[in-house]
Chain A
Amino acid sequence: MTAISLPQNRVRTVQRWLVFLGALLLWQVLAARAANPYFPPPVQIAGAAGRLWLSPLLGTNVLPSVARLLGAWAVASVLGVVIGLGLGRSRVVADYFEFLFSFLRTLPPPLLVPVFIVAFGIDSRMEIAVILFGVIWPVLLNTMDGARSVDQVKVDTARAFRISRGRWVLGVVLPAASPKIFAGLRVSLSISLILMVISELGGSTSGIGYQLGTAQGQVDLPGMWAWIVLISLLGYVFNRVLLQVEHRLLAWHRGAMGWEQ
């Protein structure tokens, strides 16, 4: 980034926030005027958020939900990358499995909820299983794709210099596949959030999704909106953090592609 673009960037950030705050204000004014109980004004939602998010529910429902989501996503990601790297480098095996995997991937993940409720009952194991099986595919298939497309000249170079197997996988295949892997990770993280909410709405006795369902059942509309806002905030934060990590780890990729001067 050059010295000239920095102030411009700052101006743009300020402008973005102004638009955001303006929209919020407009919503406040319109909602307060309409006085429709189904669409409470933001100030009322914020009140409900303060009441709910900072209550003991934080420790008993919110944090465990987040932990299950991130835990299941992380396990699925590691499995997806490991299996994807293994399969991606053996052409024959990959051909067979890719067909199977593409089929499994087309299965809409929310359909897994009733299946796993039967298998595990109303239990957090059900939720973890739903997220695991729902989000492993984008990571796995993207990793396979990335691992398979390692350039032939790099393959020859590694062989000519007798690079060991471990260093070949970790030092060449994994970084070469990493742009695709990150694309898969982002997709799977956003699916994780959706699956967390759906599985807790339908088959749980705690968690953010369960609290959302409860607020709805009690016709606590500001409370319901507060949970919805929390879910979108979580989605936003997760995505931001992952993008930051990606930005750091893939600086070489942007450079090599000439995306940054």
Chain B
Amino acid sequence: MLDVSGLGHTYGSGDKAHTAVGEVSFTVEPGELVCIVGPSGCGKSTLLRCVAGLLEPSKGSVSLHGNAVSGVPDDLAVVFQDYSRSLLPWRTVAGNVEFPLRDRGLSKAQRRDRVAEALSWVGLSKAAGKHPWQLSGGMQQRVCIARALAYRPALMLMDEPFASVDAQTRADLEDLVLKVREEADMTVLLVTHDIDESVYLADRVLVLSGSPSTVVETLKVDLPGPRDQITTRGSETFVRLRTEVAQLIRH
């Protein structure tokens, strides 16, 4: 479904040129959850911005459903790392989730249904009338996830979505993503610097090298579902995979 080939990006030019993404190629199949894991500063956000069409890559190409991506494709949603700045503080939770639906030719009733459904998926039905700044960080990130879900994208991009929440919230949000992906039958490309998280969530893990980044290895994660924070993380396969990823990143 998503095909990234020979993608590279260099910021600036001349003396100040900085190559953030060296050369990256990979594909994502429909229904897959792919995690890209790499050290901080290796160009993960840059890569994701290129895939989203928010940034024109210096080289290579991205295609979605076989069409070359230039500008933001219309069936793609992004969950940004900086959740609180991504939400509109003057709109309520429901208003934030509804906002992107307004330009999608939906009736008022359809929009209301989608908002209600997405909020119930993330367990925020009761907070619909609150404003984002009345919620905790984890809840705000759930609003961002609900907004992306209500949009019904073919592909959901997530940029370190759980990097700035506490450990318990993080585990809950990871399980939330696994659950809603199941229910909404979505394709997800998630970027993270957390090795355990990538193995826990993914069907496939792409390991990036340090900047300028390239894909060092692609690992298939054959952990059985449904995954569980305690038993999955304790299983032999999990430990073996996380060690393998850690060694790949180290080198």
Contacts and interface: CB of A to CB of B under 8 A. Distances in A.
A175 B134 contact: no
B16 interface: no
Interface residues of A, number: 21
A153 B82 contact: yes
A27 B78 CA distance: 66
B88 A154 contact: yes
> What secondary structure prevails in chain B residues at the interface with A?
mixed
Interface in A99-139: none
A172 interface: yes
Interface stretch (A69-77, A85-93, A251-259): A251-259
Contacts of B100: 161-163
Nearest to A252: B90
B99 A171 contact: yes
B11 interface: no
A151 B103 contact: no
Contacts of B103: 162-164, 167
Contacts of A172: 88
A252 B54 contact: no
Interface-central residue, A154, A160, A175, by most chain B CB under 10 Å = A160
Contact of A159 (B72, B82, B147): B72
Interface in A136-169: 151, 153-154, 156-157, 159-164, 167
A130 B134 CA distance: 45
B72 A162 contact: yes
Interface of A: 151, 153-154, 156-157, 159-164, 167, 171-172, 175, 178, 252-253, 255-256, 258
Name the 10 nearest CB pairs between A and B, nearest first: A161-B100, A153-B85, A256-B89, A160-B78, A252-B90, A256-B133, A175-B90, A164-B103, A157-B86, A153-B82
Interface of B: 49, 52, 54, 72, 74, 76-78, 80, 82, 85-86, 88-90, 99-100, 102-103, 131-134, 147, 151
